Amino acid sequence: MPIPEQRDLEKARTVIGEWLARKLDVPSVDVGPISAPAMTGFSNETLLFDASWTGRDGAARTEGFVVRVKPTSYRVFLESDFEQQYRVLKTLGERTDVPVPRVHWYEDDEAVLGAPFFLMSKVDGTAATDNPPYTVTGVLFDATPEQRGRAIRAGFDALVRIHRLDWRALGLEFLDKPQYGPTGVDQQLRYYEESFAWAARGEPDRFPVAKAGLEWLRANKPPSGGPVALCWGDARVSNQMFDRDLRLAAVLDWEMATLADPVMDLAWWLFCERHFTEGIGIPPLEGFPPRSELVATWEDALGRRAEHLEWYERFAGLRFAVIMMRIGQMLVEFELIPPDSTMAVSSIPAQMLAKDLGLPPPPPLDIGFAT
């Protein structure tokens, strides 16, 4: 089936303006042109705009906003914990020093935009991109080695701060998923076992690397009962925004947030850096801190060893490969790639996982960098 038509943005301007006026308790709000970045709406639909109004005190105000709308056409993850993102962002923004966008309201009435959504303030900054990769173009590519190093270290420091938070004191117990087992490694592995089965659509043998990866992970699973912390889930530099001086402005995209051993986040960060260098056949950018420095920084800050890091890096490969199974299937269903594309089977994460585990490589990949 073809990709769904984009939302009627002019109609959305009117609807959002009326909704925002009610929330601000003002007669009217003028919503400027809305932009909807391409290829959104599968994980979360994103609408960006500026709004102007006159407050009850008579003062004129203008502010940039972002609306995140729950996906309705396609689901990338096993569960759609949409409201969870809002709750995490609100908690972090109000009660910690982790730089996140300021969130305002959550709307669960589907009559407004056709699905639940939440509103947050727009962050003034630039994000490193996935497609095209930040290692071949963009803000970090154009920076000096010194600027790159400073930016990456600042972003990594935010990851460390997340792991040092007292998630119980912050009331983040709602991130636990006891239906998948005890909090920690057992729960995480079980969740992705079910995610693989769901994404495989009854054909697990079609995805031999992911299937073999799961078998290896089961056979080599770390002991249960390890440390548990708030995990960002999608911990990578391309989910951060930087200001014009490459200072960290915000940590974005909390849809994979969970409670687990924080080594899982460290491993995801390291795997994603490899994805956009080794995975696409280019060397790391000059100035990026080496792996050994990042691991040592994390260990010093948390006062513990990054135990079972190799296992968690293999787990990162499996998790990323399962996500790409879903995205590859989505692109076929929306006729953006041909039905015989190897993307779902041979994504870069699947290729890297096969290499790491000494498995036969999957068929050649027939699509570009972003996979």
Q: Is the pLDDT of residue 1 over 60?
A: no
Measured from the Cβ of residue 222, the count of other Cβ atoms closer than 10 Å reads 18
The pLDDT tens digits for 326-345 are 999 988 988 888 999 999 99
Residue 4 has pLDDT above 70, yes or no: no
d(CA 175, CA 184): 12
Q: What is the pLDDT of residue 38?
A: 61
- pLDDT surpassing 50 at residue 74: yes
Angle 287-289-294 (CA atoms, 0-180°, nearest 5)?
170
SS3 286: coil
Quote the radius of gyration of the chain (alpha carbons, Å).
Answer: 21
pLDDT tens track for 142-153: 999 999 999 999
pLDDT at residue 303 in the model: 97
Proportion of the chain above pLDDT 90, given as a percent: 84
Averaged pLDDT, 120-147: 93
The pLDDT of 243-251, averaged and rounded, is 94
Q: What is the CATH number of domain 9-122?
A: 3.30.200.20
Two tokens, residue 261:
């051993």
**Fold exhibited by the domain 127-357:** Aminoglycoside 3'-phosphotransferase; Chain: A, domain 2 (3.90.1200)
Q: Which pLDDT belongs to residue 93? A: 97
**Residue 371's pLDDT is what?**
46
Query: Token pair 């993102």 is at which residue?
Result: 85
Q: Which of 5-9, 80-84, 286-290 has the lowest mean pLDDT?
A: 5-9
- Coil, helix or strand at residue 292: helix
Rounded to the nearest integer, the mean pLDDT of the chain is 93
- The per-residue pLDDT for 129 is 87
Check residue 305 and give its pLDDT. 97
> Hey, where are the domains in the chain?
9-122, 127-357
Residue 5: band (very low, low, confident or very high) from pLDDT cuts 50, 70, 90? very low
What's the pLDDT at 336? Answer: 85
